[in-house]
């Protein structure tokens, strides 16, 4: 099944391009963590408000911080949130809930789906905001005092976990529904019954027989929500409830650029981060388009 997936991707130009873009961005993030020219938070590495130059590829901000390093750092944050979401929110939560509710049906199905619908009907950004805002102090105290993991909070990782955790609570709904629908179809197929008759456990049936058929849909559901995930992280950080300074995030950078007077005097402060954010969201959107294509072509 996986082999077929790769072949599908290989034949589609859009899929290749979007995957390449995503890979490039993740590479930027990873290399940035190691090879950034300056510490993203180090102030006064150059004169304030310099435009782009060979020394500072994207200029400096009003604290004298190198914008290129800050963009690399912020890309890293977005990459982290993306990975965390893909693994936990996308693969684990969405897939698990979708398969379980589709396979078992009955009250488990009703419970999961109805809960999802309730959560989904509330404007998601507000709810995520509410959760992030109210949980944060307690959560921070927990990390610091109870667990004693200061380094976690200090590197900003704790904030990241809070952000993607809050987002994951809601982003699974649509994906789980789609997967569930497909699972309902597959469940009735002949070979599933055969496997049951041969004594395969539920677990084996779900993950060995059903799951491989869902790969296309899974990729589709993940890429569909990535735009929302990235956008929400930026929005949360912009409002002060996500990643907080000095840790880099595009939301924080956009907040600092808020004044129109600032932008009109130094447009490069907005253009470069803006381009990178557009690339992030665009690449996942393109991937979603080709994923739709792939998923649909395999339905038959």
- Distance CA(214)–CA(98), nearest Å, equals 10
Whole-number Å distance between alpha carbons of 255 and 34: 26
Cα separation, 124 vs 185, whole angstroms = 30
Q: Is 242 in the site for other proteins (CB under 8 A)?
A: yes
Q: What stretches of 148-267 show up as alpha helix (H) in DSSP?
A: 150-154, 157-187, 190-197, 202-204, 215-239, 250-256, 260-265
Residue 118 or 275 having the CB closest to other proteins: 275
Q: 65 or 180: whose CB is closer to other proteins?
A: 65
Q: How far is the CB of 198 from other proteins (least distance, A)?
A: 44
Q: Does 262 bind other proteins (CB under 8 A)?
A: yes
Q: Which of 63, 142, 149, 191 binds other proteins (CB under 8 A)?
A: 63
Q: Is 75 in the site for other proteins (CB under 8 A)?
A: no
Q: Is 289 helix (H, G, I), strand (E, B) or coil?
A: helix
Q: Please, which residue, 22 or 214, has the CB nearer to other proteins?
A: 22
Nearest to 299 by CA among 214, 224, 210, 222: 214
List the structure tokens of 290. Answer: 């080709």
Residue 246 binds to other proteins (criterion: CB under 8 A): yes
* Pairwise CA distance, residues 273 & 19, whole Å: 21
Q: Which is nearer to other proteins, 70 or 209 (CB)?
A: 70
Are the C-beta atoms of 86 and 222 separated by less than 8 Å? yes
* Contact present, 59 and 269 (Cβ < 8 Å): yes
Q: Which stretch binds other proteins (CB under 8 A): 90-98, 122-130, 216-224, 253-261?
A: 253-261
Candidates 237, 250, 294, 295: give the one binding other proteins (CB under 8 A).
Answer: 237
User: b/e map of 22-53 (b: 16 or more CB within 10 Å)?
Assistant: beebbebbeebeeebebebeeeebbeebbeee
- Nearer to other proteins by Cβ, of 188 and 261: the residue is 261
Of the residues 5, 119, 161, 270, which one makes contact with other proteins according to CB under 8 A:
270
Q: Is 39 in the site for other proteins (CB under 8 A)?
A: no
Binding-site member from 144, 192, 200, 211 for other proteins (CB under 8 A): 144
Nearer to other proteins, 113 or 129 (CB): 129
Whether the CB-CB separation of 210 and 192 falls below 8 Å is answered with yes
Report the residue number, 9 or 218, with the smaller CB distance to other proteins: 9
Task: Check binding of 146 to other proteins (CB under 8 A).
Answer: no
Q: Which residues bind other proteins (CB under 8 A)?
A: 12-14, 17, 41, 43, 62-63, 144, 150, 153-154, 237-246, 251-252, 255-256, 258-265, 267, 270-271, 274-275, 278-279, 282, 286, 289
């Amino acid at each position: 099944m996986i082999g077929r997936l790769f072949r599908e991707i290989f034949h589609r130009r859009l899929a290749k391009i979007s995957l390449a873009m995503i890979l490039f961005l993740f590479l930027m993030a990873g290399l940035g963590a190691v090879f950034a020219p300056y510490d993203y938070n180090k102030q006064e590495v150059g004169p304030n408000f310099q435009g782009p130059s060979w020394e500072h590829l994207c200029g400096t901000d009003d604290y004298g911080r190198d914008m290129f390093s800050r963009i690399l750092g912020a890309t890293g944050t977005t990459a982290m949130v993306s990975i965390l979401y893909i693994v936990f929110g996308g693969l684990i939560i969405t897939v698990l809930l979708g398969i379980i509710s589709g396979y078992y049906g009955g009250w488990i199905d009703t419970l999961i789906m109805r809960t999802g619908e309730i959560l989904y009907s509330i404007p998601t950004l507000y709810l995520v905001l509410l959760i992030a805002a109210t949980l944060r102090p307690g959560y921070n105290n927990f990390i610091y005092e109870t667990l004693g993991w200061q380094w976690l909070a200090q590197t900003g990782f704790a904030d990241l976990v809070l952000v993607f955790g809050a987002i994951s609570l809601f982003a699974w709904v649509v994906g789980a529904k789609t997967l569930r629908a497909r699972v309902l179809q597959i469940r009735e197929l002949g070979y599933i019954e055969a496997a049951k008759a041969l004594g395969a456990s539920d677990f084996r049936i779900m993950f060995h027989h059903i799951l491989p058929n869902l790969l296309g849909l899974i990729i589709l559901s993940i890429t569909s929500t990535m735009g929302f995930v990235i956008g929400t992280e930026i929005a949360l950080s912009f409002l002060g409830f996500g990643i907080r300074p000095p840790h880099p995030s595009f939301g924080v950078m956009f907040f600092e650029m808020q004044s129109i007077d600032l932008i009109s005097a130094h447009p490069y402060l907005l253009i470069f981060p803006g381009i990178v954010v557009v690339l992030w969201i665009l690449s996942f959107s393109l991937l979603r388009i080709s994923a739709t294509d792939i998923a649909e072509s395999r339905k038959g």
